[in-house]
Amino acid sequence: MSTNRITRHFASITTGRWGARQVHYRRVGSGPVVIMFHQSPLSSRDMLAAMERWQMHFTCIAPDSPGFGLSDAMGVGQAEMGDFAEAAIEFMDAIGVERAAVYGFHTGAMISGAIAAAYPERIVCAAANGYVILAESEKTNILQHYLPAFIPAWDGSHLVWLWSRMRDQTIFFPWFAKSQAARLRGDVPPAEMLHAGLLDFMRSGDNYRVGYRAAFTMRSDLALRNMRTPMLVTAYDTDVLSAHLPRIRNASEQVTVKAGGTIEETLDLCRNYIKRHKPPKGPKITAPAKLHCRLRQDYVDIVGGQLRLRRNDDVGGRTVLVLHDAVGSSETVATIAGSFIGHRPVIALNLPGHGESDDTLPRRKSSIAAYAESVNEALTALGLDTVDVLGVGAGASVGLELALRHRDRVHVLAMVGVAYVSDTLAADLVEHVAPDIEPDWYGGYLLKAWHLVRDKALFFPWYERKGSTAIRQEPQVNPVQVQQRVLELFRSPGWQRLSRAQFDYPLRKRLTSALGRAAVPIVFAASDLDPQRDNTWRAAADFAEAKHVQLPDAESKWAATLLPNLDGSH
């Protein structure tokens, strides 16, 4: 694997203080190892610019802190910065790092200080870019107002609050203090950058408060006073925390306090400080350890990038491959995939451009056939010759095309929630199913996305909101469910292309081929909660040679219903 491309990985902690959990991290470069910690409420994405700048000097490893990005949370309502430091040591152990330099920005700077103070035998040096030193009155004010609960509302109004908060965070510090004294000096970022931060906030959800609170309550002055590890504390000129540098008093002689300059000059200052302390070389990349009785996450490399997946192989047998619908990911089918644990090996694969998988398909080739070829390439990389495929919605069409193109790959295909529609409706769906939703400074796009994914559970097609198009089933519009779908839409840059490709695909013709000369064993399946239930049974009626299965409403019971149809003869 190339060391000059930032890649994504997972590490498994099997017996840590907070139980079995996984840490997502980014990595690039070679040579001396630096562990890099991000600010709240972001993720290791926050470290991309520094990683690009430092990759010729270091092995840069940037984890998502617990409960942020794609890393599992600690599972606690409150934590101290010492807990985050201990969690970081568990991560270092999991990836085979005995000693390292550490670097952090804002909350990450506090983690760097906490880990350097508590584990001097593991840390060569620390660089803290933007270190918080709060007076008690400031701390009290922040803890009272900075961290309100983030709870999805039925009407999407929580997204309006979130956008306003993210916007004001770039104008005031603290964000809730609308005064001239609280005005920041830096430029307000464009809507696209605010959206990226908002997406990280949505990934962490209400857990965002845990990391923030730990940073604000840390006795950061005592950590510097007792520091036994060489540590640089700095901040770039326009950072609000540059005003905190003069607050540092009676620090250990191991601590160097130095103002930065521009963002780039401050990064270079930290880089040179770390280089002088000569951290050891970074470890080789290793696959994440298995997690018994649960799905573990990983990435698989294919041409053009990496695809994210969830998997479990506690037992032997033929692997079940679960493919999600458009505007979906392995999260949206995690309960389905989890139902196979203990019965079969199972993999839930995020299709290109969905759910943190790289968008590996050229835009002009975003056809169902192209997605099928990407899945085939991933199966080859994973060493899987033959699988049973369970495809949901668009994933069912991808599974069908995979079986037609690579007949030996697919033993049985279960097609769940099949959007089997007329040619006229399919053409209309290609044109209207996936409108543009682009970030704008006023945040209106958020409500557009909220109502789009909500209406998809109420109408088919979702954009024809009529009595005749109403889905006459129990509505699946719980705010937490809708919030997850909005998150999936925003972190899936390929959702529009897969949505259109699904209805541009000649489904009827390809089913005829599969059930004819290709002899692909197909099972049509749907539950009573599936918006595509009636269309699925219409397909089953037109192709009576295939099996059809009524699924229980609870996705956790799907494996028990489907397995006899995957194991039996056709």
pLDDT at residue 540, as a whole number: 97
196 assigned to some structural domain: yes
470 assigned to some structural domain: no
Residue 479 CB-half CA count within 13 A: 11
Whether the CB-CB separation of 541 and 547 falls below 8 Å is answered with no
pLDDT at residue 366, as a whole number: 86
Say how many C-beta atoms besides its own lie within 10 A of residue 367's C-beta: 17
Task: Note whether 412 and 316 are same-domain residues.
Answer: yes
Cα 557 from chain centre: 26
439 assigned to some structural domain: no
pLDDT at residue 4, as a whole number: 84
pLDDT at residue 518, as a whole number: 83
Average pLDDT over residues 400-404: 98
441 assigned to some structural domain: no
**Is 449 strand, coil or helix?**
helix
pLDDT at residue 174, as a whole number: 94
Task: Note whether 87 and 178 are same-domain residues.
Answer: no
Q: Distance between CA 488 and CA 399 in Å, rounded?
A: 21
pLDDT at residue 149, as a whole number: 96
Residue 570: pLDDT over 70 = no
Mean pLDDT of the chain: 96
Say how many C-beta atoms besides its own lie within 10 A of residue 280's C-beta: 15
Residue 133 sits at the vertex; the CA angle it makes with 196 and 147, to the nearest 5 degrees, is: 45
Q: Distance between CA 108 and CA 36 in Å, rounded?
A: 8
CB within 8 A of 384, min separation 6: which ones?
319, 321, 347
pLDDT, one tens digit per residue, over 413-461 is 999 999 999 999 999 999 999 999 999 999 999 999 999 999 999 999 9
Residue 2: pLDDT over 60 = no
Q: How confident is the model at residue 186 (pLDDT cuts 50, 70, 90)?
A: confident
Task: Note whether 334 and 414 are same-domain residues.
Answer: yes
95 assigned to some structural domain: yes
Task: Note whether 265 and 364 are same-domain residues.
Answer: no
Task: Note whether 112 and 15 are same-domain residues.
Answer: yes
Give the bridge partners for 21, in sequence order. 13
pLDDT, one tens digit per residue, over 80-105 is 999 999 999 999 999 999 999 999 99
pLDDT at residue 3, as a whole number: 64
Task: Note whether 182 and 330 are same-domain residues.
Answer: no
Report the CATH number that the domain containing residue 558 is assigned in CATH: 3.40.50.1820
Residue 462: pLDDT over 60 = yes
Q: What is residue 537's DSSP assignment?
A: H
Percent of the chain residues past pLDDT 70, beyond the cut: 99
Whether the CB-CB separation of 63 and 244 falls below 8 Å is answered with no
Q: How confident is the model at residue 201 (pLDDT cuts 50, 70, 90)?
A: very high
317 assigned to some structural domain: yes
Average pLDDT over residues 235-244: 95
Long-range contacts: 198-202, Cβ < 8 Å, 24+? 198/162, 198/163, 198/166, 199/487, 199/490, 199/491, 200/41, 200/42, 200/43, 200/45, 200/46, 200/68, 200/69, 201/41, 201/150, 201/162, 201/166, 202/162, 202/483, 202/486, 202/487, 202/490
Say how many C-beta atoms besides its own lie within 10 A of residue 493's C-beta: 14
What predicted TM-score, i.e. pTM, was given to this entire model? 0.96
Task: Note whether 62 and 201 are same-domain residues.
Answer: no
Task: Note whether 194 and 215 are same-domain residues.
Answer: no
Q: Distance between CA 498 and CA 429 in Å, rounded?
A: 12
pLDDT at residue 569, as a whole number: 47
Domain containing residue 217: 7-135+211-276
CA distance readout (Å), 90 to 94, 122, 299? 6, 12, 21
Residue 7: pLDDT over 80 = yes
326 assigned to some structural domain: yes
Whether the CB-CB separation of 227 and 115 falls below 8 Å is answered with no
Top-confidence residue, 222 or 567: 222
Letter for the amino acid at 251? Answer: A
Which residue, 158, 186, 206, sits at the end of a domain? 206
Count how many domains the chain has: 3
Q: Which two tokens stand for residue 192?
A: 């696209």
Q: Are strands 123-129 and 255-257 parallel, antiparallel or unpaired?
A: unpaired
Average pLDDT over residues 133-157: 96
Letter for the amino acid at 512? Answer: T
Average pLDDT over residues 281-289: 95
Percent of the chain residues past pLDDT 90, beyond the cut: 96
Nearest one of 352, 387, 347 to 367, comparing CA atoms:
352
Which residue, 229, 245, 276, sits at the end of a domain? 276
Task: Note whether 47 and 78 are same-domain residues.
Answer: yes
Task: Note whether 256 and 314 are same-domain residues.
Answer: no
pLDDT, one tens digit per residue, over 480-528 is 999 999 999 999 999 999 999 999 999 999 999 999 988 999 999 999 9
Average pLDDT over residues 254-281: 97
Exposure b/e, 138-156, CB count within 10 A at least 16 = b: eeeebeeebbeebebeeeb
Whether the CB-CB separation of 366 and 498 falls below 8 Å is answered with yes
Top-confidence residue, 353 or 4: 353
Q: How confident is the model at residue 365 (pLDDT cuts 50, 70, 90)?
A: confident
Residue 178: pLDDT over 50 = yes
Residue 363: pLDDT over 80 = no
344 assigned to some structural domain: yes
Task: Note whether 505 and 389 are same-domain residues.
Answer: yes
Task: Note whether 105 and 217 are same-domain residues.
Answer: yes
pLDDT at residue 568, as a whole number: 56
Average pLDDT over residues 153-163: 97
